[in-house]
């Protein structure tokens, strides 16, 4: 467990799992073998498993604590969820809640749950199974959803078969929040508190958003799936197979990377390998990534 600062704000990583994931060419249609040769020096061993030929993928939440609020950014895959189309997330039984408690946070203390988007591995701990029913894990929190993504994944409003891997996610991890009246729906840009800003970054999903946290002239950006792997900082036009609109995703990524490089922001992605966060730097006409100290 690691804690970092953004001015007066603290940020703690809550891990669900850390393991080898996909082969590069399977995740990125535009992957080229020379990319590994050019980047092996920083990718191995924390971002790429050389023996298996797979990226290292982390699944974690970020807990943001300001003077006034406690926010959980993205809630991983969750326990006991039926996910047969994605074995990695199927019927998990992880100690994520215990790790949250070890960080000094009880579910009842959380004020906001920030969902950057509504994919399978970002909303799982929105709910937990109690006596056969899915109930909100954070009973006193407002769950922040983008209106576009909420409507896009709602089977009553859209085509639930868009991505079979996301089957059942709305029903067990979003609908119980709506039924409990705990949602806070944001249409476009928004704000959930002082220095807590929401910005649309469409492409990965139509309603994908990021959270910007500002405190004492410092800024941190919680990027969700704007990027899946730090190689995308070096190659920002390279979108993953999970992006609904790869071109729009790349446009959003370049815009945010430019902003972060200009402001020296620390970024907090959802899936980067250790040490999981860092800063975007300019490198010639492109970008490089500087990981935080381990």
Average pLDDT, the chain: 95
Confidence of residue 165 (pLDDT cuts 50, 70, 90): confident
The token pair at 228 is 């899946």
Find the mean pLDDT for residues 219-243: 97
What letter would DSSP give residue 161?
A: T
**Quick check: 179 and 192 in contact, CB under 8 A?**
no
Q: Which band of pLDDT confidence, cut at 50, 70 and 90, is reported for residue 31?
A: very high
Please check the confidence at residue 161 and state whether its pLDDT lies above 60: no
Q: 76-103 burial, b for 16+ CB within 10 Å, e for fewer?
A: bbbbebebeeeeebeebebebbebbeeb
The torsion angle over the Cα atoms of residues 283, 281, 57 and 14, rounded to 10 degrees, is 180
Question: 159 vs 260, which has greater pLDDT?
Answer: 260
Q: What pLDDT is attached to residue 265?
A: 95
Confidence of residue 159 (pLDDT cuts 50, 70, 90): low
Answer whether 214's CB lies under 8 Å from 7's CB: yes
* Domain at 3-291, CATH class: alpha beta
Rounded mean pLDDT of 154-177? Answer: 83
| pLDDT per position as a tens digit, 57-80 | 999 999 999 999 999 999 999 999
Burial 28-40, CB ≥16 within 10 A → b, else e:
beebeeebbeebe
Please check the confidence at residue 1 and state whether its pLDDT lies above 80: no
pLDDT score of 206? 94
Mean pLDDT over 79-87 rounds to 93
Query: What residues pair up with 135 in beta bridges, in sequence order?
Result: 128
Assess whether pLDDT exceeds 90 at residue 160.
no
């Amino acid at each position: 467990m690691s804690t970092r600062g953004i001015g007066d704000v603290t940020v703690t990583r809550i891990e669900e799992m850390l393991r080898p994931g996909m082969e590069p060419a399977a995740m990125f249609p535009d992957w080229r073998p020379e990319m590994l040769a050019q980047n092996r020096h920083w990718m191995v061993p924390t971002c790429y498993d050389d023996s298996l030929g797979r990226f290292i993928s982390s699944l974690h939440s970020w807990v943001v604590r300001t003077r006034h609020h406690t926010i959980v950014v993205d809630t991983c895959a969750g326990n006991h969820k039926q996910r047969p189309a994605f074995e990695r997330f199927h019927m998990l039984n992880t100690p994520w809640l215990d790790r949250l408690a070890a960080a000094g946070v009880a579910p009842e203390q959380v004020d906001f749950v920030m969902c950057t988007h509504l994919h399978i591995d970002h909303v799982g701990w929105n709910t937990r199974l109690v006596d056969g029913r899915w109930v909100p894990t954070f009973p006193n929190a407002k769950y922040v959803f983008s209106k576009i993504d909420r409507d896009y994944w709602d089977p009553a409003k859209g085509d639930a078969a868009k991505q079979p891997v996301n089957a059942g996610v709305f029903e067990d991890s979003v609908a119980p929040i709506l039924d409990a009246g705990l949602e806070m729906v944001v249409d476009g840009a928004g704000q959930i508190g002082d220095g807590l800003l929401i910005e649309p970054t469409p492409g990965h999903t139509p309603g994908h958003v990021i959270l910007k946290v500002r405190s004492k002239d410092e800024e941190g950006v919680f990027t969700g799936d704007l990027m899946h792997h730090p190689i995308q900082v070096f190659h920002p036009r390279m979108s993953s197979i999970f992006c609904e609109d790869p071109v729009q995703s790349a446009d959003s990524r370049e815009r945010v990377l430019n902003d972060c490089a200009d402001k020296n922001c620390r970024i907090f992605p959802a899936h980067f390998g250790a040490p999981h966060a860092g800063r975007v730097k300019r490198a010639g006409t492109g970008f490089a990534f500087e990981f935080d100290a381990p």
